[in-house]
Amino acid sequence: MASQKDYYDILGVRRGATEEEIEKAYQKLARTYYFDPHGGNKTAEIRFREISEAYDILSNKKKRERYDRLGLEVSSPNFCWEYGPEEGEKEKPDFAGFEDVFGRSFISGEGRASQPQKGRDFHCTVEIGLGKTIQGLVQEVQVQRENPCPGCGGRGVDPAGLKKVCDECGGAGQVQIGLAPAAFLQICARCHGRGKIQIQLCESCSGKGRLTQRESVYLAIPSGVADGCRIYLKRMGQAGKNGGPRGDLVVNIQVKKHPLFHRIGDDLHLEVPLAFWEAALGAEVEVPFLEGRMILTIPPGVQSGERMRLQGKGVPHLHGDGRGDQVISFKIVVPRDWDERAKEILGELKRLNPENPRKGWRWHD
């Protein structure tokens, strides 16, 4: 838990706080840290986001309970969809083609078409914030899975429903193969020797033999994941056929663009604007890193584009220990409008420092 955000700390409440206490704490903080999105106060903005996130988790019974138990945030569920139809699959048998469909599928139980088939893969996209890539998270995803219908045992017909005489064997349950005297009898593949074929669809599954059910899958997203990562959950997809294995659940990770940080490899780049007097005189500047804030001491005379590296403040390496760095680059900002007094002071500065910053330039080499 040490490196993770403590939502109770963020809201300044004790762990067992009541809903009212959480609400009150949030209201108070939200007022203090309200930020104007065009006001440019990034620190307040980050703090505000943090507070909102903490409130989002702690004010929701289910999320809070899970956060207490796992110490990780579970975001609202993402939805998975199936990817592409399976080859040769007929989704909904209509009544006209019904016998044909079942004739085939019954035979395929034991006959020639009984090749094991892998189930379909589920694909889904999970979008996470950059902050979550530091700590990892448990994400709920919902998949629509087809399971064999319990009403008909997956056969699609009502076992107690209407039947008709099998037209393959005329109701005998056996068919003659070859000509006498070499002929022999074989059990009818169409009716499996029963002599009759059920013709009433199972009501629960409308004849599909399978029921679609929504299931939650909890996905542990490791720290350090990057945009475009894929997580494969083997055998979490659709059920296979004829004893074939289940498909997989394929999760594409999308990392949201962060308003301040830019990730390159496992380093996080942050541009820090400095007023030119801060750059000239040095300053103490509060800067964010993904898990909080720190005071950075800027030495006097720092130049535009100069960089500072904060070791180990980047994204954790996905494979192996350690983390990338946070790379800070400075951008010196000059105000556009000056009043008369300020212009006087600048003029004075110019007289005191006549140095030409371009004096080393040579034009004709």
Q: Name the site residues for Zn ion (rule: CB under 5 A).
A: 149, 151-152, 166, 168-169, 188, 190-191, 202, 204-205
Residue number, 127 or 168, with CB nearest to Zn ion: 168
What's the min distance (Å) between Cβ of 203 and Zn ion?
7
Q: DSSP string of 19-63? A: HHHHHHHHHHHHHHT---TTT--HHHHHHHHHHHHHHHHHTSHHH
Nearest CA to 125 out of 14, 254, 15 is that of 254
Residues 47 and 288: their CA atoms lie apart, in Å, by: 10
Please report, as a single letter, which amino acid is at residue 92.
K
What totals of helices (H) and strands (E) does the chain contain, helices first? Answer: 8, 17
CB-nearer residue toward Zn ion: 202 or 274: 202
Cα–Cα distance, 295 to 288 (Å, whole number): 9
Q: For residue 306, what are the CA distances in angstroms to 73, 130, 299, 303?
A: 37, 25, 11, 6
Q: How far is the CB of 104 from Zn ion (least distance, A)?
A: 14
CB of 95 to Zn ion, least distance (A): 16
By C-beta, is 5 or 208 nearer to Zn ion? 208
Instruction: In angstroms, give the least distance from the CB of 124 to Zn ion.
Output: 27
What backbone torsions phi and psi does residue 358 show, to the nearest 5 degrees? -105, 20
**Among residues 157 and 221, whose Cβ is nearest to Zn ion?**
157
- Whose Cβ is closer to Zn ion: residue 156's or residue 324's? 156
- In the complex, minimum distance from the CB of residue 163 to Zn ion, in angstroms, rounded to a whole number: 11
Nearer to Zn ion, 151 or 240 (CB): 151
30 phi/psi in degrees, rounded to 5: -65, -35
Smallest separation (angstroms) from Zn ion to the CB of 145: 16
Indicate the residue type of 336. R
Q: Which is nearer to Zn ion, 190 or 313 (CB)?
A: 190
CB of 165 to Zn ion, least distance (A): 8
> Is residue 224 packed enough to be buried (19+ CB in 10 Å), middle (13-18) or exposed (0-12)?
buried
In sequence order, what E strands does the chain have?
A: 74-79, 81-82, 122-128, 137-148, 163-165, 174-177, 184-187, 196-198, 210-221, 230-233, 249-255, 262-264, 267-275, 283-289, 292-298, 307-310, 326-333
Contacts of 10 (CB under 8 A, 6+ apart): 50, 51, 53, 54
Q: Smallest gap, in angstroms, from Cβ of residue 154 to Zn ion?
A: 7
The nearer residue to Zn ion, 150 or 305, going by C-beta atoms, is: 150
On the question of a cis peptide bond just before residue 181, with omega within 30 degrees of 0, the verdict is: yes
Closest distance of CB 210 from Zn ion, Å: 8
Q: How far apart (Å, rounded) are the C-alpha atoms in residues 219 and 66?
A: 14
Choose between 135 and 198: whose C-beta lies nearer to Zn ion: 198
